[in-house]
Amino acid sequence: MFSSSTPPKMDNLDDADQKPKKALVSATHFWAEFWGTYLVVLTIGCNVLGGSGDWAVLSIGFALILATYVFGPISGGHFNPCVSVAVFLAGKFDGEPIHLLYYVGAQFLGGFTGAITYYGMYGQTFELGAGSGYTLWNAGSVEFLFTCLLCLVHLNVCYAKMTLEKDNQYFGMALGFVLIAGAYAVGAISGGCFNPAVSLARYRHRCRLVWFQFRRDELFRIPWLPSLWRTASCLPLHMPQGSGRLSQVRGR
């Protein structure tokens, strides 16, 4: 009875076997970005509210280094919507465009969860805005520049073909150090955030994402405004020639 029938196509069977695997990989990426962002946001909140002073910057930078080494091999270690957008615009994102939304969603959820945690510990959040004596444009400009630098470093140490072929292990330290450098350099001007997942997460306890302040000197407190600055910083980035996808170079 089976001799005259057409044998089943193995391609279909392979596709059926691959579907659960793809779903598992997507979930793994989601949770890696979630927990990495959670760790970074929680560390920021605890350091700022705990009064760590100048040492807070080092703690936050080391938290990013730790999260990058732990979760970077799984998801790429973005932990920042701007970095994810930069990777996507540079053509280095391993996945469909819809997966970019998964990454960004995981980062914001991780940020909100981190904010809930430190708010539960301290009963308050921290303010983020232009420093004393500085204007909105001062703060926005330095946020733009250093977020652009963060995205540029991420693209070159994590996706440039030359560095990947050498199987570099310094990528996590490079990302942490650029955050430390930026926070020390312009922290007094803008707070040194460089991450929309951090700025938006602070408004969790207000039960609304937008806190409108109509005074001109308070405009920087509107969370979507610095987010636009940071997302725009991804646009000028161009990868150098000889760069490749992370999965292609590492053979995944």
pLDDT tens track for 123-158: 888 877 788 888 888 888 888 889 989 999 998 888
Q: Which two tokens stand for residue 121?
A: 């510990």
94 Cβ contact partners less than 8 Å away, ≥ 6 residues apart: 76, 245, 246, 247
| pLDDT > 90? residue 46 | yes
> For position 135, which CATH number holds?
1.20.1080.10
For residue 226, the model assigns a pLDDT of: 52
According to the model, what pLDDT value does residue 94 have?
A: 81
Alpha helices (H) in the chain, listed in sequence order: 10-49, 55-75, 81-89, 97-122, 136-158, 161-165, 171-190, 196-201, 224-232, 246-250
Each residue's pLDDT tens digit, 12-25 = 544 544 555 455 45
Provide the domain limits for residue 239.
18-250
Query: What are the tens digits of pLDDT across the range 195-217?
Result: 988 887 765 444 443 333 333 44
Residue 94 lies in a domain: yes
**Of 231, 220, 165, 141, nearest in space to 195 by CA:** 231
pLDDT, mean over the chain? 76
Determine, yes or no, domain membership for 170. Answer: yes
Return d(Cα 162, Cα 156) in angstroms, integer: 9
Q: Is residue 185 part of a domain?
A: yes
Give the CA distances from residue 131 to residues 60, 142, 174, 226, 243, in Å, rounded to whole numbers and listed in that order. Answer: 20, 12, 27, 14, 39
What is the count of structural domains for the chain?
A: 1
Any domain includes 11 = no
Q: What gap in Å lies between CA 102 and CA 33, rounded to an integer?
A: 9
Q: How many CB atoms lie within 10 A of CB 66?
A: 16
Does residue 6 fall inside a structural domain?
no
Q: Is the pLDDT of residue 110 over 80?
A: yes
Q: Is 51 inside any structural domain?
A: yes
Residue 12 amino acid letter: N
Tokens of 146: 């250093």
Q: What is the mean pLDDT of residues 179-197?
A: 90
Q: Is residue 199 one of the residues assigned to a domain? A: yes
Q: Which two tokens stand for residue 155?
A: 């693209």
**Could you tell me the pTM of the whole model?**
0.75
8 occurs within a structural domain? no
- Whether 98 has a pLDDT exceeding 60, the answer reads yes
Give the count of alpha carbons within 13 A of 152, CB side only: 13
Name the one residue in this structure whose structure tokens are 């040492």.
55
